[in-house]
Structure 1
Amino acid sequence: MSNGTRSLKLLLLLSTALIARPADGFAQDAVVQPEATPAVDCPEGQPCLQPGGEITLDTITLSASRTEGAPIDALAGVSVVTPGQPSNAGARRATDLLATVPGVAVASDGTDQSTVVNVRGLQDSGRVAVTVDGARQNFSQNGHGTTGVFLPDPFLIGKATVVRGPIANLYGSGAIGGVVSFDTISPSDLLGEGETWAVETLGAYETNGDGRKAGARAAYRITDSFAVLGALAYRGNDTRRDGSGDPITGSDADDITGLLKAEIQANDFNRITASYLADLTDYTRVASATSAYDTEVFGQTATAKWSYENPDLAWLDFDVSAYWTGTDKTETYVFGANAGRDRTFDIGTLGFDAANTARFDTGPLSHAVTVGVDAFSDDVDTADVPGGTGAVSTPSGERTVYGAYIQDELAYSDWLTVTAALRFDGYDFAGEDTNGDPVEGDGTRFSPKIAVGLTPFEATFARGLELYGSYAEGYRAPSITETLVSGPHPGFDFLPNPNLQPETAHNVEFGLNYSRDDLFMEGDALRLKAGWFHNEVDDFIDGRIGFSGGVMTYQYQNVSQATIEGLELEATYDQGFAFVGLSAARIRGENDITGEALGSIPADRVVGTLGFRFLEERLTVGAQVEAVAGQTRVPSGTPESDNYNLFNLFASYDLTEEVTLGVDVKNLFDTQYVEYLNDDPSPGFSVMFTLNARLGG
């Protein structure tokens, strides 16, 4: 490992240690202390379950309309998951938190640590916007295996929010599939009521692949208005084995993630947060039988946000944020004449967004009018050895994407809600082909959306039921790779296409939300969301093989209109002693020109969770079953996948108020399976043992 890598690890460790130590001379007794943040943030005036429950549909988060609310009230497919849920306590990677979210699949490769998130059958090239603390993660490498992003360890994540479909277009341009937003932990997440400091640690061991995990996070309240947090997480494993006992090639890896975060509550109305996240991953990527690379990825995300909210100024409720994300990937050739030489894939993304919500009434109508602007710029720089294809398949270039929007959330009485919005998007890109000739392009578009929610029911059985319908359009600008890729590749030549048209999505959705407390007995809670969607994507971009001058070519083209539709269900019930969760998704998609199925549609899936609490809720035990159908609706040339069933177990026991033991069993019956969209078999039977400890004062 390089000296720079060792220096980074030492710096992160030192930073965490300094923050974890309460410094003499600082105020030890704050006048205003925050309450401990529960695993579930309960809407004011509504009862809901506290830590240990599975009712995350009540969690307050940014909804599809970019105003805060609970997913159960959103007029869209919105889900929230947290590492604190019993079934998520053994999450190995950030994307493991998405395992029970309907309509979401994860495309991964056993030989690559990057991840592609698929939402409602759409993935790659920004069709699903993935953010960390609001900062877009736009890294993409074109080639063999996955092309996705690198995400922080679950130990550093506070919650993940998923907004499905182009109704999420207020989050920024391009998200025609949806948005997956990860929020890292904050000082207020760790500090309990009356506490000035808090430290939490994690240790874990996993049997499959000799997996190791360790983490420490600490928060300290320096003054009444200023708190800081430092966190560090390490995970590593040797080669994992699949259900047949065979090694998964290239599955060994080491990863270390560090987080620094500050919260400033300047007064009752002004709040400032700033964070810096660094992640270092080492592994060997095996692209083929004769091609492998020792890989080091260094990712950084820096964010700053200023929020203002004054109840006496209903017309002023704004957020302004800026961010920078950088991912530097270095691959060292393992085999052949270039063994020991490097190729690099670097991307820097600089962005900002600003929005204000004004609240007022006009007669019987209540309004929340939000006006906002956002923009980001990608700067991609790739380099390879002479004759290498890395810089050819993932070209260098620059792209700027920008937008503005206005939205009005109207409410009439307590039974009708209407959200109407209009978004403007624009983009431009620039680069060069392999001959040094400039390649440029640009475009603009307006995209509307409207959603209507009805809660007219007063009958006992229907109380808490809301029906909604929506129509939303989304707009995705072509990526740098799609427009600028150019040059020779073994067997064919890449051709640039600066005339690519952006993709536009037209999504119709109908659904229902059902929220009831004290349904069957006092203290229980049921939350249910179900929906049907129909998404038509015009000018769908895909790679196509052709011939020019007798030479085979590969070029990204607007090849078709694609139609994707599906059903989604998410439900949770908790009555204290027992809790139940259920999620399901059935999605179909086809190329409307050829009639063939789309290759990015995940298989039908149902996930069920059942858990119990004993010994005054000190002991939690549960099981999870995942049933996945075989994917036989595939385009020609794409292999089908087989059906499979997975059984997982989880348990945790509070030895004391400060120490918790956990056991998480994955793939109990050692099932051999390959997930559709993935290239390699998934791990077989594995047990993870965890030990969590907390101190505060």
Structure 2
Amino acid sequence: MGEALAREDIVLDTVTVSATREDAAPVEQMSSTSVVNAEVLERIQPDTVADVLQSVPGVTTSETGDDTASAINIRGLQDFGRVNVMIDGARQNFQRSGHNADGSFYLEPELIKDVTVIRGPVANVFGSGAIGGVVAFETIDPFEFLRPGERFAFSSKGQLTFNADGFVTSNTAAAGADERFGIIANITYRDQDDYHDGDGTTVPSEREVLAGFGKVQWRINEDMELKVGYVGNRADYVSGVTATPRQNDVADDTATGRFTWDPVDNPFVNLTVNSYWTRTDAMQTEVGSGDERFFNLETVGFDAYNTSEFFSHGFDQAVTFGIDAFHDRVTTQDLNGTGSLFTPSGEREIYGGFVQYELERGTWLDVVAALRFDAYDLSGETLSGAVENSGNRVSPKITLGLSPFEEGTLSGFQVYGTYAEGYRAPAVTETFVSGLHPPFSPMSPATFQFIPNPDLQPEVGKTFEIGVNYKRDNLWREGDALRVKAAIFHNNVEDFIEAQAVPPFGFPIVFNYQYVNVANAELNGAEFEATYDTGRWFASLAASMVRGENSDTGDYLYSLPADKVATTFGVRFLEERLTLGATWIATAAQDRVPPPDPTTGSLIDPSEAYNVVNLFATYEANENFSMGAAIDNVFDEQYRPYLNQNSSAGIGGKVWLKVRFGA
């Protein structure tokens, strides 16, 4: 076997979570799964979540320069939980209505160990609502940071950034006893100034972020393990600089607990129990008037599942049962404005369970069949009084995989087909939003008003997907490794929820706005991801395209991402301690936008094509000292990603240094 087979930087070989809750490498999963691992994060040194996910096919992010929050779009679906974002297994459900994405979260990239993306409504074992997919961020465990034999270790990183001038410092310490009990903590501080786009225009982006995490890992015995963790984020920045400037003070907290029991002598027990609590407090103070408003969302949830394995009639089989539930409480207040109307207070309970059956015959046949039950209850107050909503559904999934070649060049080839359904309950805002916008006054007549919809129906996503996986070592030379994943998909979302103008019309209320089940949405696309590594050099390619429309009217959906191709090439020198490389992200124009609203005249701004080239260099002098540099947007390209409000940064860069010691 060649050295490349054990390389951690072969991304598609990274063992991660899967759509069936079993850890496996993405190239071995019968789903469109991608991972960004520690090796990739080390060389790109991301400043935002968008940087982390820039080369993942089928994924785009929505960010604004003057806000530290991020929103994720998968295969043209975003907002209100269509993408289930998790940090160490805890759902991130925060939402604040505005002129940007309706669903965001706060996460400092320095805290990320790796991130897994599962595209499509195939990961129904991760809970309800994810008709777009799942994005799972993970922080590092104590015994992943500590090396064998170490009782204590400390690392410190310093980074200087250019264009958005600033610095980052990140410090991590861990201690362990007998590889049974370990503890780890990190604290990160980021200070950033405004940046300049490719035309030299200043884009407000000044911010201060204080973040960190802590985790305790207790290996109770050979069969049981308990992890308790915390992730915190404090952000200070000014938003709406060009409109209504507001000072933002954000406090985001996530607490998690995970218990696993996997006795080596009992194949019928492999139990995992997760619990979590998240809270996001966003306080905004209007610059000048001093008017305050706040947005708070608190989520409490848990999930538990057990897998039993057995062999019968020549088949390896496994049955997994699971249950999960979470409760959202939204609290907002805006005494002198409309923030608490457009992001209303309310409560939502979502709960469900699933059963999953897996069958394998040798290495050539894989079958996964699952049923999931979901139910929800919503309650809240509107200007018209109390509103409630509820519903439930059973959603099926079936996947068949074939690996027909046992020998030869195609021995690592697998083809699979999946049909899966997902179920998303309406969000608090979609159901309860109400109020005039802007507030009515004789000097400023109301343009429109939001009205609640207690009869809003859930969305149901129905996806067909055909994919191929290919895994081959020593293909063209000793020690090389090729990994390929590709898929085509068709997703039909029934009862798609969208805000639209509805009657009556007239003065002083020009029209009403309401979230309604307006259409069935159809999305089709293709994705490709490949990595080739020889040890001396490596290359990767990721490409995706999505097409979608309102199948009732034929109009485009507003949230369709632009076609994208991301290519990375790198070379290793000095016994592979020095790595030099480049990433080229080519993005097509996105002019497939819906027509102007006939009532409001509003239009989604299309985006132009652009090419961004980033250079990177990393040098690991030894296992305790490393450094690197990067130049971003080398050719100073002027561009604005589709659905973003601001142009992105022009040419910039960073240099960083990391030291570590252990004993």
TM superposition score category, shorter chain reference? over 0.9
**Among 379, 384, 388, which residue is 2:334 paired with?**
384
Shift of 1:277: 1.1
Q: SS of the counterpart of 1:72?
A: helix
Distance 1:50 1:252, change over 3 A: farther
The answer for the alignment partner of 2:269 in structure 1 is 316
Alignment equivalent of 1:477, drawn from 400, 425, 435: 425
> Offset of 1:427 from its aligned partner?
0.2
Amino acid aligned to 2:479: G
Partner of 1:594: 553
- Residue 584 of structure 2 contacts residue 613 of structure 2 at CA under 8 Å; is this kept in 1? yes
Partner residue in 2 for 1:18: none
Matches within 5 A, 1:655-670: 655-670=621-636
Aligned equivalent of 1:285: 239
Deviation of residue 87 (structure 1)? Answer: 6.8
Question: Do structure 1's residue 364 and structure 2's residue 314 form an aligned pair?
Answer: yes
Q: CA shift at 1:223, angstroms?
A: 4.6
Instruction: Spell out the pairing of 1:242-641 with structure 2 (5 A cutoff).
Output: 242-249=197-204, 251-286=205-240, 289-335=242-288, 339-386=289-336, 388-435=337-384, 437-490=385-438, 491-548=447-504, 550=506, 551=509, 552-636=511-595, 637-641=603-607
Task: Answer whether contact 1:112 1:146 (CA < 8 A) is retained.
Answer: no
- Cα displacement (A) at 1:246: 0.6
**Partners in 2 of 1:355 and 1:48 — Cα distance?**
35
- CA–CA separation in structure 1 for the residues paired with 2:243 and 2:426: 32
TM-score normalized with structure 2 length: 0.95
- The reply on whether 1:123 has 2:78 as its aligned counterpart is yes
Structure 1, gaps ≥5 residues long: 1-44
User: What displacement does 1:654 show?
Assistant: 2.2
1:62 equivalent in structure 2: 17
Aligned pair in 2 of structure 1 residues 412, 50: CA closer, same or farther (>3 Å)? closer
Three-state SS of the structure 1 residue aligned to 2:298 is strand
Deviations 1:118-148 (A, max 9, x none): 0011000000000000000000001123443
Cα displacement (A) at 1:459 = 4.6
Q: Could you tell me which residue of structure 1 aligns to residue 646 of structure 2?
A: 680
1:585 maps to amino acid = S
> Does the Cα contact within 8 Å between 1:54 and 1:572 map onto a contact in 2?
no
**Alpha carbons 2:187, 2:210 under 8 Å: kept:** yes
Q: How many angstroms apart in 1 are the aligned matches of 2:647 and 2:536? A: 37
Q: CA distance change for structure 1 residues 458 and 536 in 2, over 3 Å: closer, same or farther?
A: same
> How big is the shift at 1:559?
0.3
Aligned length: 645
* Deviation for aligned residue 1:48: 5.4
CA contact (8 A) 1:86 1:650 kept: no
Provide the C-alpha distance between the structure 1 equivalents of 2:225 and 2:357, rounded to a whole number of angstroms: 25
Closer/same/farther in 2, CA of residues 434 and 48 from structure 1, 3 Å limit: farther
Q: Distance in 1 between matches of 2:31 and 2:629?
A: 35
C-alpha RMSD of matched pairs (Å): 1.4
Q: Tell whether the 8 Å contact from 1:483 to 1:497 is kept in structure 2 after alignment.
A: yes
Aligned match of 2:441: none
Supply the distance in 2 between the matched residues of 1:670 and 1:686 (Cα, whole angstroms).
8
Q: Is the Cα–Cα contact under 8 Å of residues 262 and 269 in structure 2 kept in the other structure?
A: yes
Q: More displaced, 477-486 or 455-464?
A: 455-464
Identity %: 44
SS in 2 for 1:85: helix
Once the two structures are superposed, residues 318-340 of structure 1 have per-residue CA deviations (whole angstroms, 9 ceiling, x without a partner) of 100100000000000114xxx11
Equivalent residue, structure 2, for 1:40? none
Amino acid of the structure 2 residue aligned with 1:647: V
Q: Report deviation, 1:488.
A: 1.7
The residue type paired with residue 468 of structure 1 is Y
Residue 405 of structure 1: how far off its partner (Å): 0.2
| Alpha carbons 2:14, 2:37 under 8 Å: kept | no
CA distance in 2, matches of 1:446, 1:656: 54
**Matched residue, 1:29:** none
- Report the Cα distance in structure 2 between the residues aligned to 1:452 and 1:80, rounded to whole angstroms: 23
String of CA shifts for 1:292-315, please: whole Å, max 9, x gaps.
Answer: 210011000000010011121000
Q: What's the secondary structure of 1:507's corresponding residue?
A: strand
CA 1:559–1:197 in structure 2 vs 1: closer, same or farther (change >3 Å)?
same
- Between the aligned partners of 2:103 and 2:281, the Cα distance in structure 1 is 13
Q: Distance in 2 between matches of 1:480 and 1:159?
A: 31
Note the residue ranges of structure 2 that are not aligned, 5 or more in a row: 439-446, 596-602
2:148 to 186, 193, 197: 193
SS in 2 for 1:101: coil
